[in-house]
Amino acid sequence: MIRLSPVSHICLGLALLTISIMFAADFIGLIPDQRQMIVASRKKFCESLTSQCAACAQEDDLAAIQATIQLIVERDEDILSAVIRSADGKILVEAGDHHKHWKSSAEDRSALDNIEVPIFKGSARWGTVEICFNEIGPKGILGFWAKPLIKLIFFTTLVGFAANMFFMKRRLRHLDPASVIPKRVKSALDTLTEGVVLLDQHGRIVMANSAFADGVNKPVASLLGRNPSEFNWTVPKSPHQAQPLPWIQALQEAKDQTAVPLALSTEAGGIRSFLVNAAPILDTKGVQRGVMATFSDVTQLEERSTRLQEMLHQLEESRSEIRSQSQKLQLLASTDPLTDCLNRRAFFEKCEVDFSTSRRYGYDISCIMVDIDKFKSVNDRHGHDVGDRVIQTVSNALKSCSRASDVICRYGGEEFCVLLPYTNIQEAAMTSERFRRNIESQNLSGISITASFGISSTVFGTTGVKELISQADKALFLAKNSGRNRVACWDEIPVDVGVS
């Protein structure tokens, strides 16, 4: 035997009461009768048709009557057939299979399905209009269910029962479910700064302390019977809904859920952050009866952490900016502003490192001294601006033919010095010749540019950078004295010349 719950009994009673009221309303005529409406409509239609036929009968216009009857039968699906009979019973006009549908007067015919109306010409009866209509609805059980009132009652009963059941369950759960919690327990939980809720087996709130109510910005009384999953819980720092929620997991899996981060969008448009713990509540037999969930509000901690992250980010940006400025200052301090080559101080620092490395690992280093030929005459004839452009042209020519490991320095005035790591004297000579041809190929507004080169290498037993540069400088002196626009090597200097 099926036992209905009290809520189901109440809902069923309300549904039966609704049915009784609707039958009473139908009995006293408050609900329109579809059958009567159809009958009245058919009567009006037949009267209208009879009037038209009578007008045509006055003129003996059977063709017009035939066209009218035929058009009505074809267009109205409710009319099966129609005829015009003369006063002596002869069929004058016919549309449709009238013999099939018309029931003779000897049968118990229904005036609703077979209607005949007399036509008068003057005061004498001219003929009769006979019209066969479809039956008004099916008969028997189908006809009973086809009635609009029965359909309305059936629909109202089902929907009303379901709606009442939903409404009653929603309302009855608010009948103080927290009454099962002792007052002293409530008072103790209200002293906690951490939000605490007790949920039943269906995830509905049985008890909520004031800290939780403050956290979700709701009165305590309005929370009872609600499911905390109804609130807008999201993943922290994300618009996505948080799934699954920890108390739901605790209910489904009967396992503790600890330190689950959740965010809650408030009605004021703010965001509150929580760390949520949920644990199943078991009775003495180990059967799960609900869940206890705690909510630690970490909004302020998150805000402080966010501000700290922003400060660290700003600090890092400041450090990057300082590092960038430092690099720019270092570049300015170590390069020649006209040519972007190293200045003498930075060049000697780099040469000392490369020279020490070459001594340690035993590879050769070569040095090239470069001097622009007849530069003073260029300045005198064309001015210092053109002279600066000549220096820049020579600098670019040297850079375009050098390797990434080569170190180029503007040594002073129109002189350059190039250090070539991992390079012996023969390779240095070829590099110098490449430099010379590249510079010679440059043309600056018709000004011919050439340069002289002096080279030396650690292969000659130099003991330091300054000695290496000094040997290359002396070789440069030899190149300039030998006609300029040429390359001279330290070992080409005659012993008896005494170059100093």
Same domain, 121 and 233: no
Distance CA 485, CA 143 (A): 122
Give me the number of domains the chain comprises. Answer: 3
Return the pLDDT at 173: 54
Per-residue model confidence as pLDDT tens digits over 149-171: 677 777 777 777 777 777 766 66
> What residues form DSSP beta bridges with 297?
274
The reply to whether 158 falls in a domain is no
Return the pLDDT at 172: 56
CA 228 to chain centre: 26
Same domain, 361 and 259: no
Same domain, 194 and 107: no
- Domain of 256, CATH number, reads 3.30.450.20
Return the pLDDT at 484: 93
Same domain, 418 and 465: yes
Instruction: Please state whether the peptide bond connecting residue 219 to the residue before it is cis, i.e. omega within 30 degrees of 0.
Output: no
Does residue 78 have a pLDDT over 60? yes
The reply to whether 141 falls in a domain is no
Same domain, 346 and 466: yes
> What residues form DSSP beta bridges with 82?
95, 131
Average pLDDT value for residue range 185-196 = 77
The reply to whether 157 falls in a domain is no
Same domain, 339 and 485: yes
Does residue 490 have a pLDDT over 90? yes
| Global pTM value | 0.42
Per-residue model confidence as pLDDT tens digits over 362-416: 999 999 999 999 999 998 888 999 999 999 999 999 999 999 999 999 998 899 9
Same domain, 282 and 383: no
Same domain, 482 and 377: yes
Distance CA 24, CA 484 (A): 129
- Domain of 476, CATH number, reads 3.30.70.270
The reply to whether 47 falls in a domain is yes
Question: Of residues 220 and 434, which shows the higher confidence score?
Answer: 434
Same domain, 109 and 193: no
Region of poorest pLDDT, from 42-46, 418-422, 481-485: 42-46
Could you tell me which of 171, 177, 229 has the C-alpha nearest to residue 203? 229
Same domain, 94 and 217: no
Average pLDDT value for residue range 129-151 = 70
Same domain, 184 and 115: no
Same domain, 353 and 444: yes
Domain encompassing residue 107? 34-133
Between the CA of residue 161 and those of 21, 24, 97, 154, 286, what are the distances in Å? 15, 20, 49, 11, 37
Distance CA 228, CA 256 (A): 17
Return the pLDDT at 65: 80
Return the pLDDT at 500: 43
